[in-house]
Structure 1
Amino acid sequence: MIELDVPATMAGEPAVVEAFREWVAVQNAAEVAVTGLPELLWTPEEQLPYLLDTEAPSRLFALRSPDGATVAVGSYDTKQAPGTPNCWISIAVRPDHQRRGLGTLLADHLEGIARADGRTQWKTYAVSRQVGPAVGHGCLHAPTGFGGVPEDEAAVRFLTGRGWRFGQVNRISRLLLPADHSVVQTLYERASTAAGADYRVHTWAGPTPRQWQAGIALLETRMSTDAPEGDMEEPEDVWTLERLAEHEAHLAESPRTMVTVAVEHIPSTTLAGFTQLAVPNEVTQPVMQGDTLVLREHRGHRLGWLLKVVGIDTIARDHPGHPSIITFNAEENRPMLDVNEAVGFLAVGSEGIWERRV
């Protein structure tokens, strides 16, 4: 078992960078073997910025074969706020080295770290081949009542056998680009009418303008409390202005441009919701839609619809040529799935979210 150094940049110490590249390669190979969707994969350069948050540091681990090849990898992520009970664990084994006990070795090690840290809520994410609603015999259904995953998948058997509890399903959806402009325009008009005169949309690429930094920090914080979580509630994850600035500085080093669409509540001059789209520099890659949230107190005005269609229109106008937009949404998040389906997103896979409380 080797703990890897997380490179500060991809131009850093060659041995550290190469070890990180190998870590990502194993992670990606294991994922695509399940989903068959190489478009979901991120390069090392794209992944690194998300591992450098000093408020939620990542520890990376690897197992190597006798010839020095990296054959299994894992990560352990925590938040540093005092009293935080939760952590995130991930494990991936290269497809040609599975069923040899390597996943068990990694899991034993990472779960041991979690126990030693006093973490009492562990979570992990496992991609699935499941496309669309899971029904009938052979499916493990989420306790939310929405979605499921095949019981015979290796990750499902592995996690169940170790005492993890299946909690929630994220639907993975794809919108082929260019989208039908007439559909997007019709949905925009409906959403704008529902939102009314109290709301207006702002868009920008790259770092958040100063006037919206406090609003984005609040929205990032509320992602931990307002987004659908089933019965796996987490403690509040506070984003300060300093944390936001650090995160965006790291993103500036990535070969992706972060496009933000935010909706302002005009009477209070505060942000009521946002969505972010990571746009690769390489035009043959899909755009990835990430954090998306409308604050609870502003729901019911179709602001989620407004954010979605303005995001699609912004990509079409400012970043044409990408083949698709990929997004992940909780299966129980019917309002967002409604707009996804209306605009043309189709399900291409699923992601199971698992929890263990100790």
Structure 2
Amino acid sequence: MVELVDVPVPEGPGAPGWDEFVAFTEIENATQVAVYGTADVAITAERWLPQFRDPEQEVLFIAARDGDEVVGRIAVTRTHEAPEAGFVELQVRPGKQHRGVGTALADRLDGLAAELGLAKLITYVPSAPGPDAGRLVAPTGAGSVSRQDRGTRFLLARGWRLEQVERGSRLPLPADGDRLSALRADAERHAVGYRVLTWVGVTPAALRAAMAELNERMSTDIPTAGLEEPPETWDAERVLEYETRQTAEHALLVSAAEHIATGRLAGVTRIWLPHGAGAGQQGTTVVRGEDRGHRLGLLLKVANLEALDERFPGRPSVVTWNAEENHHMLRVNEAIGFVPMGYDGAWRKDLP
């Protein structure tokens, strides 16, 4: 019989809740790899934990146990900036479906949302490929998920609605050096008056206030369709805390565009790299509205990939996710050599 158990967010390996968190990671990896078809999307528990240790948010974990085995899990995250919205991860271990585990977890989620007074829930669910006929198209008109997918059927039956589709893309490494050189030369012809700054690790102290402004832009400028994801508030102290916590388990490779005449940061891109030899994950790329039209997004991505080849050779790939309606960034990725590997459905559920 399945038992649902509240689990603390572990402080680190070996702390209370760690064994369950390792099981959560196994479930996450099995789900992701099954859909995307590559182990490059897998993550270790040590690398994943900092995401849930952010002091700007509250996280609740629930494990579904069948005897000694964790067969499913819930994570509900809400930020201090928008406590009425819950970001949800609900998964059942592959091979353990059709036993009522998902229904039990979803029922508990609905009860928990009511207890917390949440107004809406948001979740991102990878969608397995399916037939073209009868696909569910996002309200944006860009992207779709298969109605035959188990996750799609489950979410629709529980009152969720699809709001957006994100494309997962992968760039095999090493990237084509000649292609990157040509793209950089083209971008630099349009980026007169700007220069690229590249570093590894936390943002230098003199640039943290400017990075805080760009992080706020990231939370409002990327397309979120009808999800209405909350804006974020950043300052230099939060930038340092976030990057310090994340770089305990990742190397951080950053390229930023500086407007030479004013010294302001016009845009930034990041790649997170696990310590060791795993795949990199492309973070959000953002350019200030007043600095757009100079191909800075392309310039920054190419510069960061060139630095990746020089400073972190031997990685298998870089993976990234973008909204299907973000046509500009998808074209940039395609020009660099990223190829689609799968799709995420972004879903929303409004609560009484």
If the TM-score is normalised by the length of the shorter chain, which range does it land in? Answer: over 0.9
> Deviation above 4 Å: which 4+ runs of structure 1?
none
Residue 293 of structure 1 and its aligned partner are, at CA, apart by 1.5
Residue 314 of structure 1 and its aligned partner are, at CA, apart by 0.8
Letter in 2 for 1:260: V
Paired residues of 1:225 and 1:233 also in contact (CA < 8 A): no
Task: Compare 134-143 and 312-321 and name the one that shifted more.
Answer: 134-143
Residue of 317, 322, 327 corresponding to 2:310 = 317
Percentage of pairs with the same residue:
39
What are the ranges of 5 or more consecutive residues in structure 1 without an aligned counterpart? none
What SS does structure 2 have at the residue aligned with 1:124? strand
Distance in 1 (alpha carbons) for counterparts of 2:212 and 2:135: 39
| 1:180-259 paired onto structure 2 within 5 Å | 180-197=176-193, 199-254=194-249, 256-259=250-253
Distance in 2 (alpha carbons) for counterparts of 1:31 and 1:344: 22
Residue 109 of structure 1 and its aligned partner are, at CA, apart by 1.6
Distance in 1 (alpha carbons) for counterparts of 2:176 and 2:35: 31
Deviations 1:27-64 (A, max 9, x none): 22233233332210111011011111111232221011
Distance in 1 (alpha carbons) for counterparts of 2:341 and 2:219: 26
Task: Compare 244-253 and 95-104 and name the one that shifted more.
Answer: 244-253
Paired residues of 2:132 and 2:146 also in contact (CA < 8 A): no
Q: 2:274 aligned with 1:274, yes or no?
A: no
Q: Which residue of 2 aligns with 1:330?
A: 323
Q: Which residue of 1 aligns with 2:159?
A: 163
Letter in 2 for 1:79: T
Deviations 1:93-137 (A, max 9, x none): 01121111211211222232223322213110001234xxx9942
What are the ranges of 5 or more consecutive residues in structure 2 without an aligned counterpart? none
Paired residues of 1:55 and 1:243 also in contact (CA < 8 A): no
What SS does structure 1 have at the residue aligned with 2:215? helix
Q: Which residue of 2 aligns with 1:341?
A: 334
Letter in 2 for 1:73: R
Residue 267 of structure 1 and its aligned partner are, at CA, apart by 3.1
Q: Which residue of 2 aligns with 1:7?
A: 10
Distance in 2 (alpha carbons) for counterparts of 1:339 and 1:73: 36
Distance in 1 (alpha carbons) for counterparts of 2:35 and 2:319: 17
What SS does structure 1 have at the residue aligned with 2:208? helix
CA RMSD, 1 decimal: 1.7
Residue 174 of structure 1 and its aligned partner are, at CA, apart by 0.9
Residue 265 of structure 1 and its aligned partner are, at CA, apart by 2.3
Q: 2:40 aligned with 1:44, yes or no?
A: no
Deviations 1:244-283 (A, max 9, x none): 22212212321x2011111122333222221111112222
Give the count of matched residue pairs: 348
Residue of 143, 166, 174 corresponding to 1:147 = 143
Distance in 2 (alpha carbons) for counterparts of 1:113 and 1:92: 16
Distance in 2 (alpha carbons) for counterparts of 1:268 and 1:58: 41
Paired residues of 2:37 and 2:341 also in contact (CA < 8 A): no
- 1:302/1:170 CA distance change after superposition, 3 Å: same
What SS does structure 2 have at the residue aligned with 1:311? helix
Task: Compare 85-94 and 289-298 and name the one that shifted more.
Answer: 289-298
Paired residues of 2:143 and 2:165 also in contact (CA < 8 A): yes
Paired residues of 1:64 and 1:70 also in contact (CA < 8 A): yes
TM-score (norm 1): 0.92
Distance in 1 (alpha carbons) for counterparts of 2:31 and 2:303: 34
| 1:101-180 paired onto structure 2 within 5 Å | 101-130=100-129, 136-180=132-176
Paired residues of 2:5 and 2:62 also in contact (CA < 8 A): yes
TM-score (norm 2): 0.94
Distance in 2 (alpha carbons) for counterparts of 1:62 and 1:290: 29
Q: Which residue of 2 aligns with 1:69?
A: 69
Paired residues of 1:167 and 1:232 also in contact (CA < 8 A): yes
What SS does structure 1 have at the residue aligned with 2:303? helix
Paired residues of 1:21 and 1:44 also in contact (CA < 8 A): yes
